[in-house]
Amino acid sequence: MPLLKLLSDGKFHSGVELGEALGVSRSAIWKRLKTLEDDLGVEVFKVPGRGYRLEEPLSLLDAERIAGEGGWPVAVLASIDSTNAEAQRRLQQQQQPPFALLAEHQQAGRGRRGRAWVSPYGKNLYLTAVVSSQGGIQKLQALSLTMGLAVIRTLQQLGVEDAWLKWPNDVLVRGRKLAGILIELSGDPQDVCQAIIGIGINVNMRMANDIDQPWISMAEVLGGLQDRNQVASLLLREIDSLWQIHRQSGFAALRGEWERYHGWQGRAVTLSSGVRCIQGTVAGVAEDGAILMRVDGQIQAFSGGELSLSLDHDS
């Protein structure tokens, strides 16, 4: 959006200046600013005699830069229901993988188990990468764990050194959620199918009222606003690199690395699965991505559920 690009530096701009730059009247500028606030939730400060400015600078996404550095076909959307949903629509329209979609804002971002993913405009990374598998869903087992490693590797390159994985799809820093992964499938589960890899990373978000769990952002960890284009480019390169390994050798080739970053490794936990709560100690992950737990002296594998630290075990 041209108006947001002009305001993205976080400095004051007068209505006259903005109108001249865009070739519209001051009243048209006011209406567009109102749209930014009402439709996208972008807060614009108005000070008589000084003009308009954003609360802080925005690092807007640049599709050409991300594609050039990340090595993937990339489209950047201003606002969409969710990048995963848009990827599904594009597959139905016969767009061929691999490709990546990013959005400045999601109206209905989704997390695991139907949870909402809070998606303020221009603050975080909302990215979906789409790949194709020739061997059906068997080839895609544990892909969410592989993509967790892609996030970890990206964060490490950018200076976030204390990030940990939480099975099956979360990335935590200081015990708070920094990123999440949601993978959905399309196509023939027995033959050629596509993995829609949705990744959300809290990059520059400072405030949010609708998140029901502790969270943290890269800006907080690193002490300043981050370049979202750099985050996206590095992430796409890691997704591509790890997908090639996963496609050829499966998660088995990455299992050891994943376990090194699992913050719950060797810890006493409770696994909630439906009405069941299973207590045990994390023993690792299987090659198909199942969590391995020592329960009553026996190693058992579990493929679903919500993992949480047990409060009644000294861990």
Q: Is 106 annotated as contributing to ligand binding?
A: yes
Q: Is 169 annotated as contributing to ligand binding?
A: no
Nearest to 122 by CA among 181, 209, 204: 204
Distance from C-alpha of 63 to C-alpha of 70, rounded to nearest angstrom: 10
Q: Is 19 annotated as contributing to ligand binding?
A: no
Distance from C-alpha of 97 to C-alpha of 90, rounded to nearest angstrom: 10
Q: Is 174 annotated as contributing to ligand binding?
A: no
Distance from C-alpha of 58 to C-alpha of 66, rounded to nearest angstrom: 16
Token readout for 148 is 């967790």
**Angle between the N-to-C axes of helices 26-40 and 15-22, in degrees from 0 to 180, rounded to the nearest 10:** 90
Q: Is 90 annotated as contributing to ligand binding?
A: no
Nearest to 167 by CA among 291, 286, 274, 272: 291
The residue written with tokens 């869903």 in the block is: 137
Nearest to 133 by CA among 190, 175, 83, 192: 192
Q: Is 113 annotated as contributing to ligand binding?
A: no
Q: Is 83 annotated as contributing to ligand binding?
A: yes
Q: Is 82 annotated as contributing to ligand binding?
A: yes
Burial class (CB in 10 A: 0-12, 13-18, 19+), 159: exposed
Q: Which residues are annotated as a binding site?
A: 82-84, 106, 110-112, 177
Binding-site residues from annotation for biotin:
82-84, 106, 110-112, 177
